[in-house]
Amino acid sequence: MYKGIAASRGIGIGKICRIIEPDLSFEAKVITDIEAEKARFSKAIADFVEETNAMAEEVRKNIGPKEAEILLGHAAMMDDPAMSGEMFSMIETGQCAEAALTAVSDMFYGIFSTMDDEMMRQRASDIADVKVSLLKILLGVKDVNIGSVPEGTVLVCKDLTPSMTSQIVKENVAGIMTEVGGPTSHSAILARALEIPAVLSVPGIVDSVNDGDTAIVDGNAGDVFINPELDVLSEYIIKREDFNKKKAELQKFIGKETLTADGDKLEIYCNIGTPKDAKKAMECDGEGVGLFRSEFLFMDNTHLPTEEEQFEAYKEAVETMEGRTVIIRTLDIGGDKDIPYMDFEKEENPFLGFRAVRYCLAHQDMYKVQLRAIVRASAYGKAKIMVPLVTTVEEVRTVKKLVAEIKDELRAEGIAFDEDIEVGCMMETAASAAIADLLAKEADFFSIGTNDLTGYTMAVDRGNAKVAYLYSAFQPAVLRSIRTIIKAGKEAGIPVGMCGEAAADPLMIPLLMSFGLDEYSVNPVLVLRARCIISKWTKAEADALAEKVMAMATEEEVKAELEASAKEI
């Protein structure tokens, strides 16, 4: 058995398919039959154009027209004589197609990548992509087509990138295993959104398995079995049935209010990354959106999204939620989230650096475009603004000042917006917890981001496997911070939510109920489970458990007690 990080719930059993980046090295040859080599290269280009256009059509259907444009641009690039003409000229001097392709692409890459214009730099990475695709064709290297793996496949790869995830056909992939990534990495978030069991950060797994091996992926416990004995396989087939049955039973909570066992009303919201996800939030019966990660609009783009583009996206999310609250987090970039066209400087400690609200307040013209788009979208439903990575009162005051300026401008222009649009604080730094009482006087609401709060409280890098043992929201230090933040919010009379992954943790929920958390924002697929867990606990039971647990000194004791007290769902 291999151990990894349980990143997406469920039991997956199937046959392994490894996704391996192919070796594209080649030996440059001197060509004697120039015409034959030119014909070989022409054929490779024709195949590339055909494959790329077909892929663009798939992407247009499954993802969107904007993403398809990128691929269509790649196909068009090889029709450009400036590019292919140079390559053919080199072949005429006796160089092989692989060498000509590499030399010309690298030359253009060098020119474009150093240009000031961001569109031109983007062209450099397009050239690099085209080069790799054409080399694969010339060398006869086959890519595993993730989109066409057969039903019951367990994908094994070093890392699962968002572009790989976009090709996955959910019905065919039984499980996912990777060598990197933690429970809050984007690959984990995407796997959960697809409801595919996933275990991440399994050391050396790619080289330890073969295509066609049978694998069990236990996304609940973080365990992986390769070619298991029959008794283990039978045990997990039963576990899988049990898990799937429980999941089906949760359907009875659909359309119901979120009530504690005493009948007190709480709320389950959803975390989303794109306006389209708002549909999923509605389908999964979310009572609102507690976190719209707006940076996806910036990351899946080749330029800064304009006010109109952003407005349309926020409006779509707000309208889809039909009057339910939509908390839009303003741009949270830097740290692990890079945006190529924004030219971030390399920093020694990016997680402690120039990121999120710090970056936005230093680029107020850019930030005001986003704030204006959100304030305008507030005319179409219930939008709220959330500020990430707050560490000082001044940051919140400055954002509120900018919002007030925008409101004045919109009033003067006769553009509609919600006069009462709220500005809240994302509570995810040790500083914000320490000054929660001061921030509560400035903010209209709090939302606790436990993913970062855990990291910043424990001084642990979210992605560093060596210190992962410290990264737990059940650490007494983190639990105390959460309790302090909720208490400060309650005392100031503002609502407090949680949008970090801990809000969906069955062991954490009774503690949060006891602390007085109002709103739990979770991945859409976890709405019903969270609602079910809340329905099992009375406030008195949750308080008794919290009292016991908050007196404990170690994470181990805390977890053991919470596990022993957990209620069957």
The residues that touch ligand PEP, with contacts defined as CB under 6 A, are 184, 291, 293, 332, 428, 449-452, 499-500
Nearer to ligand PEP, 14 or 335 (CB): 335
Q: How far, in Å, CA of 520 to CA of 496, rounded?
A: 9
CB atoms within 10 A of CB 323: 11
Closest approach of ligand PEP to the CB of residue 60, in Å: 28
User: Does 501 help bind Mg ion (rule: CB under 5 A)?
Assistant: no
Determine how β-strand 382-387 pairs with β-strand 325-329.
parallel
| Rounded-to-integer distance, Cα 482 and Cα 517, Å | 10
Nearest-approach distance from CB 3 to ligand PEP, in angstroms: 24
Backbone angles phi, psi at 455, to 5 degrees: -65, -50
Q: Which is nearer to Mg ion, 175 or 449 (CB)?
A: 449
Catalytic residue list contains 499: yes
Q: Which two tokens stand for residue 45?
A: 């280009």
**DSSP state letter for 337:** B
- Cβ-based nearer residue to ligand PEP, 84 or 447: 447
d(CA 32, CA 362): 60
Nearest residue (CB) to Mg ion, 447 versus 475: 447
Whichever of 6 and 499 has its CB closer to ligand PEP, that residue is 499
Comparing CA positions, the residue from 175, 537, 520, 144 lying closest to residue 327 is 520
Q: What share of the chain is helix, strand, coil (3-state, %, to 5)?
A: 55, 15, 30
Catalytically annotated residue among 17, 74, 157, 186: 186
Residue nearest to Mg ion as judged by C-beta position: 452
Burial of 110 (0-12, 13-18, 19+ CB in 10 A): exposed
Is the CB of 95 or the CB of 184 nearer to Mg ion? 184
Using DSSP's 3-state secondary structure scheme, residue 511 falls into: helix
Should residue 223 be labelled a site residue for Mg ion when binding is judged by CB under 5 A? no
* Residues 157-176 as x/- pattern, contact with Mg ion by CB under 5 A: --------------------
Q: What is the 3-state secondary structure (H, E, C) of 87-143?
A: HHHHHHCCECHHHHHHHHHHHHHHHHHCCCCHHHHHHHHHHHHHHHHHHHHHHCCCC
3-state secondary structure of 380: helix
CA distances, 473 to each of 267, 433, 462, 508, 515 (Å): 21, 14, 12, 9, 15
The site partner of 444 among Mg ion, ligand PEP, none (C-beta below 5 to 8 Å per kind) is: none
State the Cα angle at 354 between 351 and 358, rounded to 5°: 115
Q: Which does 450 bind (CB under 5 to 8 A by kind): ligand PEP, Mg ion, none?
A: ligand PEP
452 in contact with Mg ion (CB under 5 A): yes
DSSP string of 174-240, one letter each residue? EEEEESS--TTSHHHHHHHHHT--EEE--TTHHHH--TT-EEEEETTTTEEEES--HHHHHHHHHHH
Q: What is the DSSP letter of 266?
A: E
CB of 428 to ligand PEP, least distance (A): 5
Task: Mark the segment that binds Mg ion (CB under 5 A) among 145-153, 215-223, 296-304, 452-460.
Answer: 452-460
Number of residues that bind Mg ion (CB under 5 A): 3
In the complex with ligand PEP, which residue's Cβ is closer, 271 or 535?
271
Among 196-204, 399-407, 446-454, 485-493, the segment contacting Mg ion (CB under 5 A): 446-454
Least separation in angstroms between residue 350's CB and ligand PEP is 13
Output the smallest distance, CB 490 to ligand PEP, in A. 20
CB of 352 to Mg ion, least distance (A): 13
In whole angstroms, the minimum distance from the beta carbon of 137 to Mg ion comes to: 41
For residue 44, what are the contacts with CB-CB under 8 A and spacing of at least 6? 97, 134, 137, 138
| Cα atoms in the 13 Å half-sphere on the side-chain side of 76 | 8
DSSP state of 312: H
As a whole number of angstroms, the distance between CA 549 and CA 557 comes to: 8
Residues 504-523 that bind Mg ion (CB under 5 A): none
Residue closer to ligand PEP by CB (options 391, 535) is 391
Q: Which of residues 449, 463, 489, 524 is near Mg ion by CB under 5 A?
A: 449
184 binds, among ligand PEP, Mg ion, none (CB under 5 to 8 A by kind): ligand PEP
User: Rounded to the nearest whole angstrom, what is the least distance from the CB of residue 523 to ligand PEP in the complex?
Assistant: 11
Query: Taking Cα atoms as reference points, which of 539, 447, 540, 446 lies closest to residue 259?
Result: 539
Instruction: State the nearest-atom distance from the C-beta of 382 to Mg ion, in Å.
Output: 23
Q: Which does 432 bind (CB under 5 to 8 A by kind): Mg ion, ligand PEP, none?
A: none
Least Å distance, CB 25 to ligand PEP, is 38
DSSP 3-state of 297: helix
The nearer residue to ligand PEP, 56 or 502, going by C-beta atoms, is 502
Catalytic-residue membership of 96: no
Q: Which of 17, 96, 270, 499 is the catalytic position?
A: 499
Which CB sits closer to ligand PEP, 4 or 183? 183
Q: How many CB atoms lie within 10 A of CB 413?
A: 7
Kindly write out the interface string for residues 403-442 of this chain, putting x where it contacts Mg ion by CB under 5 A and - elsewhere.
Answer: -------------------------x--------------
Give the interface with Mg ion as residue ranges (CB under 5 A): 428, 449, 452
Which residues does the annotation mark as catalytic? 186, 499
